[in-house]
Structure 1
Amino acid sequence: MRQFSRSPLALIGLVLITLIVLLAIFAPVLSPQNPYDLMQLDIMDGRMPPGSEASAGFTFLFGSDNQGRDMLSAILHGLRISLIVGLGSAAIAFIIGTAFGLTAAYVGGKVETAMMRIVDLQLSFPTILSALLILALLGKSVGNVVFAIVLVEWATYARTARGAALTELRREYVEAARSLRLPHRNILFRQLLPNCLSPLVVLLTMQVARAITLEATLSFLGLGVPVTEPSLGLLISSGYEFMLSGTYWIALFPGIALLVTIFAINLVGDRLRQLLDPKAAPK
């Protein structure tokens, strides 16, 4: 933490991430309007510019969309969906891919070759096209988006985990554990895994940002989350058609929120890479 705090950009990223997470958690309290409650929406408030007065008495700080939905409230709730998808899918893919890669390296031989061919096959498919195909078959829902992203991202963790494990398997502590005939599960997850975590933690940080971006892309293309649970990507998509008419704020402010979120995560991820990657000298 002392080395991490030496980077002003990393600290800025950490503060931004903390603020974004808190805003998402307390969105129902901080939002002047519940964007999911149709009783609180007034079509007469549709496409109001920033700073306009709503019929309910509060101010549209970021304007309103075509349904009379307060954009600030929609962004705060959209942050929740984007973070749930990003964090959830990255965590699940991390667990599956890490376990798969460690097992392949530990078993070795023909089994390892067969397991890694599965990984290579998965990585050979274009990520966005694979996710689009999965969602076209399963339909729109937050759970299906998480499932699709996990299916297209787990192989990246598997390859990274295998590469790190192959180096660690040559270490003396692994040979000692094997000579003591410790259970394979003990060697894998208590001896091997902790020493392979450095590159995986860096990858996890980057993949959270990637998952949020992928979800936003899928939602923008119309195959992501449903309209009843709008994420930042879906908010951008819904406002894109009004850009040419001058109603810029419907897409602009969700886009800024998405940009700041990805930027903050990448700042922290870059610093972690500098600290945990032995080939990169921390500044």
Structure 2
Amino acid sequence: MSDLSQRAYQLEAFGRLLTIMDELRAQCPWDKKQTLESLRHLTIEETFELSDAILENNLGEIKKELGDILLHIVFYAKIGSEKEAFDIGTVIDSLCEKLIRRHPHIYGDTEAKDEETVKQNWEKIKLQEKGNTSVLGGVPKSLPALIKAMRIQEKARGVGFDWEEKNQVWEKVEEEMQEFKEAFDAVSTEQIDKERATGEFGDLLFSLINYARFIDINPEEALERTNLKFIKRFQYLEKSAREAGKKIEEMSLAEMDVYWEEAKKL
């Protein structure tokens, strides 16, 4: 299929989706009742399902979840048109104009020789557009803390506020680790100052996220991969215990560790 034929097919498919959305909104009892607010939590769920599919590298599921998210975008735009606030056309036009503005190295005379310069230009232009008094003003308040820490650091870097060398970042990690150890002595039996220990632990996590970002590791993805690995191994432990006629809650840690070590070899 030629590029022109492919584009024609894509536009036809998108037009078909818009027609179906119009029909569902007019005729389906469930679709007729939906609002921007009622769709919100469903959209969040679909986004996490796409995230799962990406982590599993399941291209079939990624295709399916992208379709679900596209449906939500079209649905929101349909509701917006009913409110005479926006429609899918103005949404797309607005996006196109933003992409052109934020890529002056493609559509203007600005030079950007590498990815880092592109990111810095993006953040500067975004700051001017939104009229924020703070570079961090665009970070959503409701983001999960780990992702929020990463976005805060990325935005600060976008205006030049960052470490120069990765060894400097690692020294900060070690410094925060030492401060945390002082706040929470694992050997001591004395009650810790929980508020101070919590603060120091937060500083340590923030510095580790910073180091991960500096060496191009996505800390959210890294932690989720570890979560999935733990789940897989623990479920193997549970399955093996059942097959051996044992109740996991009655097993000793040493007994469970045998199955755990087996799971690590799978």
Higher-RCO chain (CA-CA 8 Å, sequence separation at least 6): 1
What TM-score does the superposition give when structure 2 sets the normalisation length?
Answer: 0.26
Which structure is larger by alpha-carbon Rg, 1 or 2?
2
TM-score by length of 1: 0.25
